[in-house]
Amino acid sequence: DDCISIVNGSSAIKMKRIFCGPGHGISIGSLGKDNSMGIVTKVVLDTAYLRETANGLRIKTWQTSAVKISQIMYRNISGTTKSSKAMKFACSDTVPCSDIVLSNVNLEKKDGTVETYCNSAQGIGYGIVHPSADCLTSNDKDAKLAEPTRNEIVHTEL
């Protein structure tokens, strides 16, 4: 199963110094079954090592749902995944994910190349981000790079 699974209604969560694997990886979801509504916001994963996880980092919503996922930070993440999709941000077509931030993320596959999959996902990557997260869309990337602490996502303390 998932090392960590963030469920509907989660907010202001900070996870730090996580060792995960083997297993499914670290997931937000699955959310929005039967076109339901939901929200997940202000989630920070800081300093994690993933070992041979099935999915790596994942956001999973049903494509026609109304689940709002926003202000998600992945920082200082490394390790290996069994999947060629080391990061998968499968967000709702109806309510896209917003403000996903990747900072110093490096995920590999022992026997092949890795990629990032995005569907209706908006955000940025800075520092080392491997595999590339160019599939994340951004309306104002330069402004966000200049001010990565926008919405206090980087400094969320519980």
Domain that holds residue 55: 4-152
- What is the Cα–Cα distance from 155 to 42, expressed in whole angstroms? 10
pLDDT tens profile 136-149: 987 554 544 444 44
Which is the catalytic residue, given 24, 68, 75, 85?
24
Q: Please answer whether residues 29 and 36 qualify as being in contact, where contact means their C-beta atoms are separated by less than 8 angstroms.
A: no
Average pLDDT across the chain, whole number: 88
Q: How many domains does the chain have?
A: 1
> What pLDDT, on the 0 to 100 scale, is given for residue 35?
81
pLDDT tens profile 73-92: 999 999 999 999 999 999 99
The answer to whether residue 47 sits within a structural domain is: yes
The answer to whether residue 158 sits within a structural domain is: no
> Is 24 marked active-site?
yes
The answer to whether residue 157 sits within a structural domain is: no
- What is the Cα–Cα distance from 124 to 101, expressed in whole angstroms? 5
The answer to whether residue 109 sits within a structural domain is: yes
